Amino acid sequence: MNSSRILTRLASPRTGGLLALAILIALLPLALPNRYFYDVAILVGLNAIVCVGLNLLIGYAGQISLGHAGFFGLGAYGSAILATRYGWPPLAALLATTVAVALLAFIVGRPILRLKGHYLAMATLGLGIIIFMVLTTEDKFTGGPDGISVVPFRIGAFALQGEHIWYWVVGVLLLLAVWLALNLIESPTGRALRALHSSEVGAEVVGINAAEHKLMVFVISAVFASVAGSLGAHYSGFVTPSKAAFLHSIELVTMVVFGGLASTYGAVVGAAVLTTLPQLLTSFEDYEMMVFGALMIGTMVFLPRGVVPSIARLLASRRKAVPDDKADGK
């Protein structure tokens, strides 16, 4: 009886899932033979942080954004410009950039989030394009299309350099991001977000200010993207506007949908699969993108809810087939 309670606790997303993710991150280096693999793992981690935030907006609150690469790019360039051009301490540059991006998301989000569905998609797309254009054309600050180099991240005398250190930094931050997202979703605020996704009027009449909640989750997701952007800039030592481009926004949304909407672990899985898959498919050479596209179409046809929710559902229905399901139902 007691052991079954521990088991259900372990099967819960917040305790068990987080533990599993922590173990995975801790053990993964054993399977990473060289720097190149570390590099891919770090990219996965950074994308996963963005996707966990974006999934709060798209998956849980049901509000689309096709401009989140813009926030990622702003985070990257904000840190790059403040730390490299103006010599700010990188941590201060990161924090100041994050606050500025949050403020921008707050100001722009207010009018944009009144729109719904396709119209919201158009507006966020426009926002992303404007950010991309500004980063490309303001070459006095941003270096234009050629990009800008970025100083290493350092706190005091300690510099974060090398794939090994960055792996652990990104790994811990990903765990933190997942933990925050799971906490939010399990709170009254998270329920409010899921409620307004399903029925805005239904949420309003129980006292939920839908506009305020949409704005809040928009800002949170922008902050996740911005922080990942800042870290990515310091890690790679170089930023180009392509980080803020429309294609990157689409990639991020695709990762969220592929992994499974309204599933925090789905966002992580989506980021992991779609970041590593192109690397694995390089052996197909010219046909790489065709195979990639075919795999994506196949996944969405056979796992329409995305990878994680579809598999979870499959396992749940298997379990239900076993007759003792009523035993602990109440």
Partner 1 sequence: MSLLRVDGLEKKFGGVNAVEELSFEIRPGAVFSIIGPNGAGKTTLLNLLTGVYKPSAGRIEFDGHDLTGRAPHEYARHGIARTFQNLQIFFNMSALENVMVGRYMQERCGLMAALLHSPRLARAERACREDAAELMRYVGLQDYLSAASDAMPYGALKRLEIARALATRPKLMLLDEPAAGLNPTEVLELDDLIGKLTGRGVTVVLVEHNMRLVMGVSDHILVLDYGRKLAEGPAQAVRNDPRVIEAYLGSSATHDGSFGDAVAKAVAVGVEMHR
**Interacting residues with partner 1 (CB under 8 A):** 14, 180, 183-184, 186-192, 194-195, 197-199, 201-210, 216, 262, 329-330
For residue 246, the SS3 value is helix
Give strand pairing partners of 154.
159
Which residue is associated with the tokens 């401009």? 67
Comparison of 157 and 322: residue with beta carbon closer to partner 1: 322
- Least Å distance, CB 328 to partner 1, is 10
Residue type, 100: A
What are the φ and ψ backbone dihedral angles of 286, each rounded to 5 degrees?
Answer: -60, -25
- Least Å distance, CB 81 to partner 1, is 29
- Least Å distance, CB 243 to partner 1, is 26
Comparison of 94 and 203: residue with beta carbon closer to partner 1: 203
Please state, in angstroms and rounded to a whole number, the distance separating the CA atoms of residues 158 and 155.
Answer: 5
- Least Å distance, CB 100 to partner 1, is 19
What are the φ and ψ backbone dihedral angles of 159, each rounded to 5 degrees?
Answer: -100, 135
For residue 86, the SS3 value is coil
Comparison of 7 and 316: residue with beta carbon closer to partner 1: 316
Comparison of 118 and 330: residue with beta carbon closer to partner 1: 330
Tokens of residue 263, six digits: 């599933």
Residue type, 158: F
Comparison of 181 and 274: residue with beta carbon closer to partner 1: 181
What are the φ and ψ backbone dihedral angles of 328, each rounded to 5 degrees?
Answer: -115, 30
- Least Å distance, CB 329 to partner 1, is 6
Comparison of 323 and 329: residue with beta carbon closer to partner 1: 329
Cβ-contact 281, 292 below 8 angstroms: yes
Length of the chain: 330
Tokens of residue 37, six digits: 């693999």
Residue 231: HSE in the Cβ half-sphere, 13 Å Cα cutoff:
27
- Least Å distance, CB 224 to partner 1, is 12
